[in-house]
A = this chain, B = another copy of it.
Amino acid sequence: MVRMPESRPYHHGDLRSALLAGAERTLREKGAGALSLRELAREAGVSHAAPGRHFKDKQALLNALALAGYDRLGQALDGADDATLPLEQRLTALARSYLAFAIDNAELLELMYARKHEPDASEQMAAAVDRTVGSLERVIADAQERGEIIAGDPQHLTLLTGATLQGIASFAAGGMLAPEAALDGIEELVHLLLHGLKPR
């Protein structure tokens, strides 16, 4: 047996991107626990230590993955926000967009919320969170100015709304709630949030 020339070049070309892409696929298919740097290296056709050049350690890769996730989520939310819609519809659209993302990126979202980031990565992470939360806070603040929502610290109200969404997403991710049920229930959910549980 003679070893073939293996025309593969010494340099991969864009190993960093390939690793991130592979990691996302694995994340989606097998969950975060199944992520292995060595496996990713094998998939990319590269030695087991090569990833080390691009990511100091496993956590660094996970951080990069989370940041990319925030970008995609931010785009989805920005795309779904239509300031010309009436409040309830506007909120519903935003909520649907968030839930849809949460449902098809359950494992990724978990990474995004994971509290294991190093101090430096945390800064970028915090900024990303702020950008994301901002989408929602804007809607709330707008509605307050128009008198469509009660007065009060907009951050508190945003917290309530965001928490509810995150909770639903968490239930859906945990299998306690079917994804379709979660999506179908959005209108009622937003309605309840706006009108409260008490009879009027």
Contact = CB atoms under 8 A, between A and B. Distances in A.
A20 B83 CA distance: 52
B167 A170 contact: yes
A199 interface: yes
18 contacts: A148-B199, A149-B197, A149-B198, A150-B197, A156-B188, A157-B192, A157-B197, A159-B168, A160-B189, A160-B197, A161-B197, A163-B164, A163-B166, A163-B168, A163-B171, A166-B167, A193-B197, A194-B197
Nearest to A171: B163
Given A150-B197, A163-B164, A196-B198, 16 more contacts: A33-B116, A115-B173, A115-B175, A149-B199, A150-B198, A150-B199, A159-B171, A160-B189, A162-B167, A167-B167, A193-B196, A193-B197, A194-B198, A195-B196, A196-B196, A196-B197
A195 B192 CA distance: 9
B195 A160 contact: no
Interface of A: 31, 33, 113-116, 129, 147-150, 156-157, 159-168, 170-171, 173-177, 185, 188-189, 192-200
A170 B177 contact: no
A33 B198 CA distance: 43
A113 B173 CA distance: 9
A101 to B, nearest CB: 15
